[in-house]
A and B are shown apart, each in its own frame.
Chain A
Amino acid sequence: MNYRIGKIEGIRTLTKSIKEYEIVLDEPINPEPGQFAMLWIPGVGEIPLSFADAETKRIKFIVARVGKVTGHMHDKLRAGDKVFIRGPLGRGFTRIRGGRALLVAGGYGLAPLYFLSRKLRSMECGVKALLGFKSDDEIFYVKEFEELVETEISVEHGSSGHRGTVLDLFKDVIRVERFNMVYACGREELNLALIRKCLRMGVPVEASFERIMRCGAGICGSCSIEPLGIRVCRDGPVIDGSMIAPMLEAP
């Protein structure tokens, strides 16, 4: 069996629809930021989740309530419960050495970028993070980011940070600052808009994508970004912006 056994060590409520799970595994794993795991809860289901942090046997997931499995996690999981993990799977972010990196996250997309900023910081990169939220009561993890890197937030409907979308904030920031690399994780529209903008400016960009996953092993075809034939579970989830370029014809 290819599952590792995980024990829920702690659960933290971050917003009304997002929780953080700290899990201790039976054996250490060594994921790269951007890689993901398939988390199986027997009798409930199995879903892909990005590593929000990992340190030998200790891993973290940040989980938004969506449907069956995430709903079960929010409502039923307690400290001490067991879950099963296969991974790390897929391809993570390529880390720059030195230079300045810009991280752009929408909602729970900040999960893999938090893990990334921890690793980038230890590589002496200058890092700035832009975190986008829909409303004041959906803001989370800002303190955690601020402890690591320079952080700005945008809120679409609210009074904190910059008013507007994280894409608006991104456009303002890159008007005045230069970066060697942009890392993105958010809804597909956000990822595509960021990639389009970065490619135009000649800034390297990587973004983490989502598709419905089944095998997680690169063989069933369910997670393909068409018509490019890019498998999110194997070729991604982190994909170089230039690979996505053919999808960006429309403005």
Chain B
Amino acid sequence: MSPDLEVELAGLRLRNPTILASGILGSFYGLMKRVEDAGAGAITTKTVTREPREGYPNPVFVDLGFGYLNAMGLPNPGIREFSVELRRAAREIRIPLIASIGGRNEEEFMDVAGRALDAGCSGIELNLSCPHVSGYGLEIGSDLQLACSIIKAVKSISSKPVFTKISIHQARPDIVSRYLGSGADGVTAINTIRAAAICVESMTPILSNIIGGLSGPCIRPIAVAAIYEIRRELPGVPIIGVGGVDGWRAALELILAGANAVGVGSAIARKDLQIFGEIIEGLRRFLAERGFKSIKELVGYAHRS
């Protein structure tokens, strides 16, 4: 019998542990459908805010070779318009749809979450960690009290699981347990890391916003440490591990550190949507070769040594 890749994540059932990370292709129904067809276990939408946001002008993305830098500026059509995509996705896509929510205060988070839930999403991810948009993300997330009150407020209107997406700065067991104490059902770790690149030829910053977020293979060791430490102190918490997953080995590394499921983000730039199939096949082969029956046996396995 082929090994079982199904995982359970705060009440969500995933056919396999791969999840499309927020901000990657999750902005339209058609793209999300293609991600489902490529084999993903779940989808996180692009972070959506109450009002439409243009985002920053180009350049917004740099391929550094060893990783990626982006400063999109949370472009999105606002929750009213996005609800149309979300509703259609919820109707026609069978895998869980996690709506990523952004806001500047408790009221905005509540409003957006309420509408996303109405549209039929299966879970919520609170973006408290985007490192390069003033008034959003990490700026909200670094105020522990504000973050906790946002979690409480959203949780009070949600019968669906609520994940808190964190940056390296919040990836501390004491902070995460405060989030859980406020009602969060799980954490997504980690978001991109504040970073910048300067072109020496023009002697100017490349990103129009100057500061962006670093992603890709170069942040994987940082994600592994964050996941490992949270898992060690909080054995029961559902964790979506994100950061530098570019194949099945990287996915497995995050799972061994303690992730129940793994987000796939910027690696799609190099490997395109086939990466989901590649991870799934690789994990299945590994489990079979090593005699494991289920991927669940490997969650946090590295803690045994």
Measured in the bound complex, the distance between the Cα atoms of B60 and A220 in whole Å is: 10
Tell whether A221 pairs with B202 under 8 Å between CB atoms, given A1-B197, A45-B58.
Answer: no
Cβ distance B151 to chain A, nearest Cβ, rounded Å = 27
Contact flag A214-B55 (CB < 8 Å), given A220-B23, A221-B25: yes
What per-residue 1/0 map shows which CB atoms of B30-47 lie under 8 Å from chain A? Answer: 111110000000000010
Q: Are B199 and A84 in contact (CB under 8 A)?
A: yes
Given contacts A42-B199, A84-B199, A229-B33, contact A216 B61 (CB under 8 A): yes
CB neighbours (8 Å) of B65 from chain A are 2
Contact yes or no, B57 A219, CB < 8 A: no
Known: A1-B199, A42-B202, A227-B30. A221 touches B46 (CB 8 A): yes
- Name the contact of A219 in the complex, choosing from B28, B55, B268 (C-beta under 8 A): B268
Are B26's CB and A46's CB within 8 A? no
> How far, in whole Å, are A227 and B26 apart by their CA atoms in the complex?
13
Q: Which residues of A contact B202 (CB under 8 A)?
A: 42, 82, 84
Closest A residue by C-beta to B63: A2
In whole Å, how far is A189's beta carbon from the nearest beta carbon of chain B?
Answer: 20
Quote the shortest CB–CB distance from B35 to chain A (angstroms).
8
Whether B28 and A227, one on each chain, are in contact in the complex, defined by CB atoms closer than 8 angstroms, is yes
Pair B269/A214 contact, Cβ less than 8 Å: no
Cα A46 to Cα B208 in complex, Å, equals 9
User: Are A214 and B60 interface neighbours, CB within 8 A?
Assistant: yes
B105 at the interface (CB under 8 A from A): no
Decide: B269 and A218 in contact? CB cutoff 8 A. Answer: yes
What's the minimum C-beta distance from A83 to chain B, rounded to whole angstroms? 10
Is A222 interfacial (CB-CB < 8 Å)?
yes
Whether B34 lies near A219 (C-beta < 8 A) is: no
* A142 at the B interface (CB under 8 A): no
Contact count band on A: 20 to 34
Confirm or deny: B62 has a beta carbon within 8 angstroms of a beta carbon on chain A.
yes
A47 within 8 A of B: yes
Cross-interface CB contact of A84 among B31, B88, B201, cutoff 8 Å: B201
Tell me, yes or no, whether A3 is within 8 Å of chain B by CB.
yes
- Given A227-B30, A229-B30, A229-B34, A219 and B24 touching (CB < 8 A)? yes
- Per the 8 Å Cβ criterion, residues 263-277 of B in contact with A are 265-266, 268-269, 272
Query: Is B122 located at the chain interface by the 8 A CB criterion?
Result: no
Question: Does A231 touch B at the CB level, under 8 Å?
Answer: yes
Q: Are B268 and A82 in contact (CB under 8 A)?
A: no
Shortest A196–chain B CB gap in Å is 20
Q: Which of B107-142 contact A (CB under 8 A)?
A: none
Task: Determine the chain A residues whose CB is within 8 A of the CB of B29 once the complex forms.
Answer: 226-227, 229
| A224: min CB distance to chain B, Å | 5
How close is A221's CB to chain B, nearest CB, in angstroms? 4
A228 CB within 8 Å of chain B: yes
Q: Is the CB of A231 within 8 A of B58?
A: no
Contacts of B61 in A (CB 8 A): 214-217, 219-220
B24 touches A221 (CB 8 A): yes
Asked if A234 lies at the interface with its beta carbon under 8 angstroms from chain B, I say yes
The reply to whether the CB of A43 lies closer than 8 angstroms to some CB of chain B is yes
Chain A 44-55, CB-CB to B under 8 Å as 1, else 0, gives: 011100000000
Give chain B residues whose Cβ lies under 8 Å from the Cβ of A217: 61, 63, 269
B59 in the interface, Cβ–Cβ < 8 Å?
Answer: yes
Question: Contact: A1 with B75, CB < 8 Å?
Answer: no
Q: Does B206 contact A (CB under 8 A)?
A: yes
What CA separation (Å) do A86 and B65 show in the bound complex?
13
Check: B192 CB closer than 8 A to any chain A CB.
Answer: no
Within 8 A of B (CB), among A203-222: 213-222
B146 contacts the other chain (CB 8 A): no
0/1 per residue, B198-227, Cβ < 8 Å to A?
010110101010000000000000000000
A170→B12 CA distance, assembly (Å): 54
The interface residues of chain B lying within 8 Å CB-to-CB of A29 are: none
Cross-chain contact B23 with A224 (CB below 8 angstroms): no
**Is B64 on the interface with A (CB-CB < 8 A)?**
yes
Q: What separation, in Å, do the CA atoms of A40 and B59 have in the docked complex?
A: 7
Question: Is residue A125 within 8 Å, beta carbon to beta carbon, of the partner chain?
Answer: no
- Tell me, yes or no, whether A230 is within 8 Å of chain B by CB: yes
**Shortest beta-carbon contacts, A-B, top 3:** A229-B30, A46-B58, A215-B61
Q: Given A218-B268, A221-B26, list of 20 further CB < 8 A pairs?
A: A3-B201, A40-B59, A45-B58, A45-B208, A82-B202, A84-B199, A84-B201, A217-B63, A217-B269, A218-B269, A218-B272, A219-B24, A219-B61, A219-B265, A219-B266, A220-B27, A224-B27, A225-B30, A226-B29, A230-B30
